[in-house]
Amino acid sequence: MSQIPAELRYSESHEWVQRLAPGHFRVGITDHAQELLGDVVFVETPAVGQTVTAGASCGVIESVKAASDLFTPLNGEVCAVHAELADNPQWLNEDPYGQGWIFELQGSDEDFAVLLDAKAYAQLSGS
């Protein structure tokens, strides 16, 4: 069954969020999401400096068989993107919570606190 690390928070659209420091978050897609997508071949990330809105599309993940929107779980400003994914899109499949991280943003700790915890996400994703 798919992995759901206890220390992360989750969105209903299958992204995970890691709190790196107060107001500083890292975002990727969950193990469940990468299983649904199949082999990822291309990731279109948001741009550094871009303002993103929770629940809105901010990029695209293309697998062999389907294109899927990338949503941001938090409001904020993108402060880093994982540029190496351009040449290594398979990292989303191989290590979705590690090497497969997608972008980082500056956001609010209050917004983070109301995201799903691992237990709630496990229920949602049927894992």
Partner 1 sequence: MNELLRTTPFHDWHLAHGARMAAFAGWEMPLHYGSQLQEHHAVRQAAGFFDVSHMRPLDVWGPDARALLRYALANDIARLDDRPGKGLYSTMLRNDGGILDDLIVFHLSSECYRLVLNAATAVQDLEYLQSLAHLQLWQVRFLPRDDWGILAVQGPRALSLVSPLLGVPALQNCPRFQGLELEFSSLFVARTGYTGEDGVEILGTPERLLAIADALHAQGVAPAGLAARDSLRLEAGLLLYGQDMGPADSPDRSHLAWTVDLRDPKRDFSGRAAIAKERHGILHQQLWGLVLSRHAIPRTGYEVLAEDGQIIGTVTSGLFSPSLGRGIALARLAAPYGPGMSAQVRIRHQVFPASIVEPPFWRQGKAIYPL
53 by DSSP, 3-state: which? Answer: coil
Question: 60 or 113: whose CB is closer to partner 1?
Answer: 60
Angle at 49 between CA 43 and CA 53, to 5 degrees: 75
Contact status: 77 vs partner 1 (CB under 8 A) = no
In Å, what is the CA distance from 75 to each residue of 34, 93, 124? 23, 26, 22
Give me the 8-47 binding string for partner 1, x by CB under 8 A, dash otherwise: ---------------------------x--xx-xx-x---
Encoded amino acid at 108, one letter: S
Question: 20 or 66: whose CB is closer to partner 1?
Answer: 66
Residues of this chain that bind partner 1 (CB under 8 A): 35, 38-39, 41-42, 44, 60, 62-67, 90, 93
